[in-house]
Amino acid sequence: MNVVSFLTDIESLLLRNNTSTATYDVSASLNKRVQRFYKGTSGMYSRLPVIDDLYPCVFVEMDNKEEDWSQIGTSARRNMEIRFDIIPVVQYGMGATTDETTGRELSNLECIQLSQNIENLLRNKITLSQTSVQWSMVESTDYSSTLNEESTYNSMALLHCKAHVLST
């Protein structure tokens, strides 16, 4: 299993479902469609500056993988467990609302909606549209995380995910 391909496939799944005609539209009920998808290693969301025009955005980050080599002699295939995070980020500044409080609230509510849309997609695509993935799940969602930026309008969620892969 090529981990870069794994991340690219998840990014493609999200991108394909970022249209109003998708059954599980990741941008459903948002004021603005997701503008950009990024992929990389854990914590990338805090190191990559994103300009205001590219919000909302979604990061797909590789956390870790564990390989089980115990069956390799009998079947030449091994079980892998891949942990990855999906991080939706929303930013509405002063231009979007009339005051600071409303701007923060709008960002928070949009972030919750975006993360729920992504969860619904992943729940209904448990193989992540990949033949080697046997199942995947969102283990937990953390809404208390913050970006390492000065803007008080950034809202984000961390969807902690796990996939079970049968690999050669």
Q: Does residue 83 register a pLDDT over 90? A: yes
Q: Is 160 helix (H, G, I), strand (E, B) or coil?
A: strand
The three-point CA angle 123-124-125 to 5° equals 95
pLDDT tens-digit series, residues 144-158? 766 655 555 678 999
- The rounded distance, in Å, linking the Cα atoms of 85 and 63 is 7
CA dihedral 132, 59, 89, 42 (to 10 degrees): 100
Specify the pTM: 0.89
Q: Could you tell me the maximum CA-CA distance found in the chain, to the nearest angstrom?
A: 65
What tokens were used for 110?
A: 């949009």
CB contact at 8 A, 56 and 34: yes
What is the pLDDT at residue 152?
Answer: 57
The pLDDT tens digits of the residues spanning 9-40 come to: 999 999 999 999 999 999 999 999 999 999 99
- Report the run of H or E that residue 150 belongs to, with start and end: none
Q: Domains of the chain (ranges plus CATH)?
A: 3-167 (3.30.2000.10)
Query: How high is the pLDDT of residue 52?
Result: 76
Which tens digits make up the pLDDT trace of 32-77?
999 999 999 998 888 887 777 788 999 999 999 998 876 666 666 7
- CA pair distance 124, 122, nearest whole angstrom: 5
Which pLDDT belongs to residue 75? 64
Amino acid at 161: C
